[in-house]
Amino acid sequence: MKISKIQPPPDLRSVVYEFWHTVVPNSSSAIESYKIFADGAPGIIFQHNNGNSNLYRDTVPLPITFMYGQKSASPCTNFIHGQSSIFGVSFQPATVKQLFSINSYELTDSLVDMNIFFSKTFTERLLEATSVQHLVELFSQEIYQKLLRAKKEHIIQDSVHRIRNCESNIDSALLAQQYCLSRRQFQRKFKEEVGVSPESYFRIVKFQKSLQLLKNGQYNRLSDIAYKLGYADHSHFNREFKLFSSFSPKEFLELQLPKNTYETDKIEDIGPLRIMKH
């Protein structure tokens, strides 16, 4: 599954990380399964095969166009039945409340039909799009109109940036002091904007960093990753990694690195690493 990435227009980059598109080809297997990891951000999926949903959670078909929230821990599995066209919008972490006027935690570990947030004709227009660029334009227009009416939350956007660049464990009380807020006020605002607590978000960020280190082979021993990312010890790193991926780091490498060769079609890199073919 080859994924093409498209950068958003400059006036959308504060809320959209990137657009992406792929076509899942017909294969010898009737059903393909994909694990979806926590990547620290919400997004939108538009998927279909000749106008019909071709993406399933368990045996239930998902909406043709839907928005998903943060994943807080263990992965879920989606199933694709044969050939499909999939287009995605990867949002910046603190975007849902800003654009759609709902608390982000209402979408955590769930998804909703986009008809709730866009007009019912929007999916029809997407289905009539003649190219990937046309899809980019349609989504950009809709998101830009919402951005014009949005109330910006600079405190949480700044704190997300600080957490993503933090090299040691965070203390949300100290972080709250930077914004003249109590710890409780800061945690509440953060969860409303991002969908999870600052502590949970930091754990997701560390998990994502560990995936990048594993993907790029930036370690001599697995314990090097635990040390570099500030886990208490190797056992703690193992537990956290298994919570977010359902594999231990060693099991994950055995799946992804046969004969010490990284197979790029095993993990799909959409912004942060999110999808693993399974």
pLDDT means per 10 residues, the chain with 278 residues, are 91 96 75 89 95 90 96 90 91 95 96 92 95 98 95 90 86 93 96 96 95 90 92 94 94 70 51 68
Between CA 25 and CA 28 the distance in angstroms is 10
Q: Which ranges of the chain does DSSP label H, i.e. alpha helix?
A: 96-100, 122-127, 132-148, 154-164, 172-178, 183-194, 198-216, 222-228, 234-245, 249-256
Residue 166 phi/psi, 5° resolution?
Answer: -75, 135
Query: What is the C-alpha radius of gyration for the chain, rounded to an integer number of angstroms?
Result: 19
Note the pLDDT of residue 259. Answer: 45
Between CA 81 and CA 103 the distance in angstroms is 33
Note the pLDDT of residue 181. Answer: 96
Ordered by start, the domain boundaries in the chain are: 3-148
Residue 247 near residue 77, CB atoms below 8 Å: no
What contacts 137, CB < 8 A, 6 or more positions away?
A: none
Note the pLDDT of residue 265. Answer: 41
Note the pLDDT of residue 120. Answer: 81
Between CA 270 and CA 278 the distance in angstroms is 16
DSSP letter at 215 equals H
Note the pLDDT of residue 112. Answer: 95
Fold of domain 3-148: Jelly Rolls (2.60.120)
Between CA 192 and CA 106 the distance in angstroms is 9
Between CA 249 and CA 128 the distance in angstroms is 43
Residue 225 near residue 238, CB atoms below 8 Å: no
Q: Reduced to 3 states, what is the DSSP secondary structure of residue 176? A: helix
Q: pTM, whole model, 2 decimals? A: 0.90
Note the pLDDT of residue 59. Answer: 86
| Amino acid letter, 235 | S
| Amino acid letter, 224 | D
Enumerate long-range contacts of 126-133, CB under 8 Å, 24 or more apart.
Answer: 126/46, 126/64, 126/65, 126/87, 127/48, 127/51, 127/64, 132/4, 132/6, 132/21, 132/87, 133/6
What are the C-alpha distances in Å from 201 to residues 81, 114, 124?
A: 32, 25, 35
Residue 40 near residue 160, CB atoms below 8 Å: no
Residue 172 near residue 198, CB atoms below 8 Å: yes
Between CA 264 and CA 124 the distance in angstroms is 34
